[in-house]
Structure 1
Amino acid sequence: MQFTSPLLRGTLIRRYKRFFADILLDSGEHITAHCPNTGAMTGCAEPGFITYVSPANNPKRKLKFTWELVFTPQQHWIGINTQHANTLASEAIKQGIHPLFEHLQAVRREVKAPDGQSRFDFCLTQQDNSLCYLEVKSVTLANGKQGYFPDAVTTRGTKHVQGLAELARTGVDTCLFFCVQHSAIEQVSVAHHIDPAYALAVEDAVAAGVKVLAVSCKMSEEKITINQLLPVIL
């Protein structure tokens, strides 16, 4: 995934009200950027962190910049924009990074489940016309080399996992895909200590047959690309 415009470098002053980040650009300009991440962003939004923002293409948009990346004092890249996770997952699918993604007939995005109630990020059509529903989550919470999801209680995320489990019980292939946007992370676990209900839902989903994958990314101020599969420790 190539950034469509050159990113501007700056220093984070503060992140507040979930969607706002005050940043001092290297040019000396003070800006307020849109923060496209609703999570707690633990360890990702410390004042003084080097940040990268993209200019908005829409001149009518109130906030003229979007916060994209952080580069930490430990020299780790973190992808702030969770909206990129689906784009990166799409690239991983196209690359066939896992056997589940090989020999596909079609890939659809934002597809309703057979019950008409749930909606998942992807629906993959296999060569035998069987379907696989896939839900993507962005992972940025790190403790050393260990990554965790979620970084805050997520009722919505729990419902997604429960929906995958319900489909799996009917014999439909399903997958929970962790897109890791933190260069320090080498393995991923569910954050039992943050959201026990989500952790329980994942355990139930795995027992029902839901596959769980984690994929790391390489990041720079020019692009984010898929790197490799990571171990998932449940």
Structure 2
Amino acid sequence: MKFIPSLQQGKLVRRYKRFLTDVLLADGQERTIHCPNTGSMKNCLFEGEDVWFSESDNPKRKYPNTWEIAQTDEGHLIGINTGRANHLATEAIEQQVIPELAGYETLKKEVKYGNENSRIDILLTAPEQPNCYVEIKSCTLLEDNSGYFPDAVTTRGQKHLRELMEMAAQGHRAVLLFIVQHTGIDRVSPAAHIDPEYSALLKQAANSGVEIIAYGTTICPEEIKVTHAVDVLLDECI
């Protein structure tokens, strides 16, 4: 996923009111930009470090700039725009970067399914094969040299796990795909210390036939792309 036009750079001043971020530009001016991450952004906010943001040409937007990448104190880069995860996953599937999801003829997005009024992120289909339901989550929380999901309690995420378990019970393929948008994360575990219910459901889902996979990304101001598999350790909890 290339950034066109190129991203602009600044220094993080603060994030506030959930959806707003102030950045300091090279000329000394401060600019308020949109923060597209609805989570807690735990361990993703490093005041004074570099950030990169995109610009929209939509004249109706109050804040035309969107925060895309953050840098940590240790120099790791984080893709903080959670809305990019689905695009990254789609691109990776179409380019056959994820072998577990290869071999399907059609890819549909945001398809209604399940008993709890849900929409699956990606539905893969092919003749004479079970449908493959793929739920995508963006992982950006790094603690004690390990990646964790979620970074805040997620009742929505819990619902998605229940829906996936139902699809698996019906004989379909059900896949939870973590897109790791943090260059310092090389393994992912459920964050039982943050959302014990989600952690328990994730382990239950794995035991019920839901496939849990994770893929990491390379990140730079020019592009973010899915490049490599990342270990999922369901019993590695803080």
- Please state which band the TM-score falls in when normalised by the shorter chain: over 0.9
State whether residues 32 and 63 of structure 2, in contact with CA within 8 Å, keep that contact through their aligned partners in structure 1: yes
Q: Deviations over 1:170-194 (max 9, x none)?
A: 1111000000000000000010110
Unaligned runs of 5+ in 1: none
- Structure 1 223/98 Cα, relative in aligned 2: closer, same or farther at 3 Å? closer
Distance 1:212 1:189, change over 3 A: same
Matching residue of 1:192 = 192
Matches within 5 A, 1:162-201: 162-201=162-201
Farther-moved stretch of structure 1 (90-99 vs 177-186): 90-99
1:134 aligns with 2:170: no
Q: Equivalent residues in 2 for 1:1-234 (5 A)?
A: 1-113=1-113, 115=115, 117-234=117-234
Q: In terms of mean alpha carbon deviation, does 117-126 or 77-86 score higher? A: 117-126
Structure 1 vs Structure 2 CA RMSD: 1.4
Q: Give SS of 2:105's match.
A: strand
**Counterpart AA for 2:213:** L
What secondary structure, in the 3-state scheme, does the structure 2 residue paired with 1:67 have? strand
Q: CA–CA distance in 1 between the matches of 2:194 and 2:3?
A: 32
- Identity over aligned pairs, percent: 44
Distance in 1 separating the partners of 2:231 and 2:126: 25
| Distance in 2 (alpha carbons) for counterparts of 1:27 and 1:89 | 36
Moved more, 79-88 or 111-120: 111-120
Q: Which runs of 5+ in 2 are unaligned?
A: none
Kindly indicate whether the alpha-carbon contact (under 8 Å) linking 2:116 and 2:159 is maintained by their aligned counterparts in 1. no
Does the 8 A contact of 2:10 with 2:50 survive in 1?
Answer: yes
Between the aligned partners of 2:227 and 2:26, the Cα distance in structure 1 is: 30
Q: Which amino acid aligns with 2:57?
A: N
Q: Is the 8 A contact 2:46 2:71 kept in 1?
A: no
Contact 1:103 1:127 in 2 (8 A): no
The question of whether the paired residues in 1 share the 8 Å contact of 2:44 and 2:78 is answered with yes
Query: Contact conserved, 1:144 with 1:185, CA < 8 A, in 2?
Result: no
- 1:199/1:31 CA distance change after superposition, 3 Å: same
Query: What's the TM-score, normalizing by structure 1?
Result: 0.96
Contact 1:8 1:25 in 2 (8 A): no
Q: Distance in 2 between the 1:27 and 1:128 partners? A: 60
Shift of 1:99: 3.4
TM-aligned CA deviation for residue 212 of structure 1: 0.5
> Would the aligned equivalents of 2:145 and 2:185 in 1 still touch at CA under 8 Å?
yes
Distance (whole Å) between structure 1 residues aligned to residue 144 and residue 217 of structure 2: 17
CA contact (8 A) 1:144 1:184 kept: no
Task: Determine the C-alpha separation between the residues in 2 that align with 1:98 and 1:50.
Answer: 31
Structure 1 runs of 4+ aligned residues shifted over 3 Å read none
Q: Distance in 2 between matches of 1:100 and 1:106?
A: 15
